[in-house]
Amino acid sequence: MSSITRQSDTLGAVSGAARLHMGLTEFVITIALMTASVAIAIDSMLPALPSIGHSFDIADANDAQLVIGVFFFGFGFSQIFFGSLSDAFGRRVVLMGGLCVFTLSMFAASQATSFELLLALRFIQGIGAAAIRITTLAIVRDCFGGREMARVMSYVMIVFMIVPIVAPSFGQLVISYASWHWIFTLIGCIGSVLFFWALTRMKESLPREERLPLSVSAVLSGFRTVLTNRITCGYMIGMTLFTAVICAYIVTVQQVFGEIYGLGEWLPIAFAATASGIAAANFANGFFVRSFGMRRISHTAMILFTILAAAGFLMSLAGTPAFVVSYVMFSVLLMFFAVIATNFTAISLEPMGHLAGTATAITGFVSTTGGALIGGTVGQLFDGTLKPLFGGFAIFGLLTIVATLWAERGKLFTHPGDKDVAHDHGAQV
């Protein structure tokens, strides 16, 4: 039996939270708060995009999307480095460094005097956020495996999704009484609190004897292991396409609800309701994943997502659907997205064992960078209709089905019991 398999067997229990000297509840809340910093850095900006555009005299409203898109790009691009660093030096030091960069760049952005400088700082913020994401996911994989990881990640996402629910309202409240600069100042304060929380409460989850040497040969060996695993690569492609889904939605949601449907100041409430649906979907996934398995749930959601997106595209060809119809469709699509993203992440990391940091870095780099570029392209196609968004969603869903069929050798809905997990560990391209 390989060391990877042995580790998966030992990390599968809920008591894995004890690896950080925490109870499960504290573990979930702590990981969720760390990862939520990424969400607040994105979602609190949505109501402020028109103000930022006006402040810097941006002629094309679509260019304001870059405040979101550049963050995504920095977030995705830099992940490739942090995995190997966290595998070699441990999770905690990389997490602390990421929180420091994230916090300081937020305070710097509050003083930005040009749109170009703001975008540069947003890129740096994305780098800090990437270090946070990589280490927190690796910590979860250090402590849990298989269905238990999917279950824990679902509960993390429930807490995590509180931020998208309140962040747009937070941004709207700030710009109602002050300038958009104060959004960055307040997020910087939140980052400071998280830094000191991590400093005092977060223990190291990767013992020294399990760390990998930081050398070119070791890094290349880790990359080869990740990139030649059929399961990891196939689901990484799916994660890329569904990152494009959420990126396209986020960069255009202000224009969709604001320009097409004229919601104006009601945008934060509308966005909060869709985020609530994502939280509900993750709660349901955490409850049912032990019984039905990650593949059965995510594959069903993937197919239903594609069908519903295609229906939305056909409806938009005949004209702009009524707000209630579009809103319900977007809400349901995002619920499917939540289930797919959570389970695809767990499935892709399951074969990786002690390479969790490197694997998270590679899959995160590919999925986030690729998703940001593809989703950002869909956002730039915004033409005052819903056709680009629904059409992009349908294409992303169809391609994900193809990638999943390749990863699973043409077989969907397999029950990921011990036999399937063993198969996953040995699945090579």
Contact 301, 288 (CB under 8 A): no
Contact 297, 343 (CB under 8 A): yes
Structural domain that includes position 219: 3-426
pLDDT at 226: 78
Global pTM?
A: 0.69
Contact 381, 62 (CB under 8 A): no
Q: Is the pLDDT of residue 361 over 80?
A: no
pLDDT at 346: 82
Which of the residue ranges 138-142, 147-151, 310-314, 361-365 would you say has the lowest mean pLDDT?
147-151
* Cα–Cα distance, 371 to 75 (Å, whole number): 11
How many other β-carbons are positioned within 10 Å of the β-carbon of residue 317? 12
Q: Which two tokens stand for residue 220?
A: 């290349």
* Cα–Cα distance, 28 to 225 (Å, whole number): 29
Contact 260, 39 (CB under 8 A): no
In the block, residue with structure tokens 């960078």: 369
* Cα–Cα distance, 378 to 372 (Å, whole number): 10
Cα Rg of the chain (Å, integer)? 21
Rounded to 5 degrees, what are φ and ψ at 149? -65, -45
* Cα–Cα distance, 237 to 29 (Å, whole number): 29
Contacts of 159 (CB under 8 A, 6+ apart): 28, 29, 32, 33, 36
How many other β-carbons are positioned within 10 Å of the β-carbon of residue 383? 9
pLDDT at 261: 85
Percent helix, strand, coil in the chain (nearest 5)?
A: 85, 0, 15
At 318, the amino acid letter reads: A
Q: Which two tokens stand for residue 375?
A: 């989703």
* Cα–Cα distance, 381 to 388 (Å, whole number): 6
**CA nearest to 83, candidates 203, 242, 222:** 222
Number of domains in the chain: 1
For 218-235, write each residue's pLDDT tens digit. Answer: 667 767 877 888 898 999
Report which of residues 48 and 251 the model is more confident about. Answer: 48
pLDDT at 365: 81
Reduced to 3 states (helix: H, G, I; strand: E, B; else coil), residue 160 is helix
For 46-72, write each residue's pLDDT tens digit. Answer: 888 888 988 888 877 678 878 988 998
CATH number at residue 191: 1.20.1250.20
* Cα–Cα distance, 251 to 330 (Å, whole number): 14
pLDDT at 83: 77
